[in-house]
Structure 1
Amino acid sequence: MRDIAKEAEDVILKLKDQNHGRIYLKTNQIRKFLTAVNAITNKVNVYKAKHLDATKLPDELAGEIQFLKVKAAYQAGRERSVKDFMVQSKMKHHIEGIGTSIPKYEEFAHYIEALVAYHKFHGGD
Structure 2
Amino acid sequence: MRDIAKEAENVILKIKDQNHGEISLKTNQIRKFLTAVNAITNKVNVYKAKHLDATELPDELAGEIQFLKVKAAYQAGKERENKKHKNNVKEFMEQSKMKHHIEGIGTSISKYEEFAHYVEALVAYHKFYGGND
Q: TM-score, normalised by structure 1?
A: 0.97
Q: Percent identity?
A: 90
Q: CA deviation at 1:32?
A: 2.2
- Structure 2 unmatched ranges of 5 or more: 81-87
Determine if the alignment matches structure 1 residue 35 to structure 2 residue 39: no
- 4+ residue segments displaced more than 3 Å: none
Number of paired residues?
A: 125
Alpha-carbon contact 1:55-1:102 (below 8 Å) kept: yes
Q: CA deviation at 1:28?
A: 1.2
Worse-matched range after superposition: 17-26 or 29-38? 29-38
Alpha-carbon contact 1:9-1:118 (below 8 Å) kept: yes
Q: CA deviation at 1:31?
A: 2.7
Alpha-carbon contact 1:15-1:88 (below 8 Å) kept: yes
Determine if the alignment matches structure 1 residue 116 to structure 2 residue 123: yes
If you compute each CA radius of gyration, which structure gives the higher value, 1 or 2? 2
Alpha-carbon contact 2:66-2:102 (below 8 Å) kept: yes
Alpha-carbon contact 1:97-1:104 (below 8 Å) kept: yes
What is the aligned partner in structure 2 of residue 66 from structure 1? Answer: 66
Q: CA deviation at 1:23?
A: 0.7
Q: CA deviation at 1:49?
A: 0.5
Q: How far apart are the structure 1 equivalents of 2:129 and 2:30?
A: 14
Q: CA deviation at 1:68?
A: 0.2
Q: How far apart are the structure 2 equivalents of 1:91 and 1:64?
A: 15
Deviation readout 1:12-32 (Å, 9 max, x if unpaired): 000001111111110112232
Taking only aligned residues, the RMSD between alpha carbons, in angstroms, comes to: 0.9
Alpha-carbon contact 1:31-1:116 (below 8 Å) kept: no
Alpha-carbon contact 1:5-1:114 (below 8 Å) kept: yes
Question: Structure 1 or 2: larger helix share?
Answer: 1
What is the aligned partner in structure 2 of residue 5 from structure 1? Answer: 5
- Structure 1 unmatched ranges of 5 or more: none
Q: How far apart are the structure 1 equivalents of 2:100 and 2:119?
A: 13
Alpha-carbon contact 2:59-2:107 (below 8 Å) kept: yes
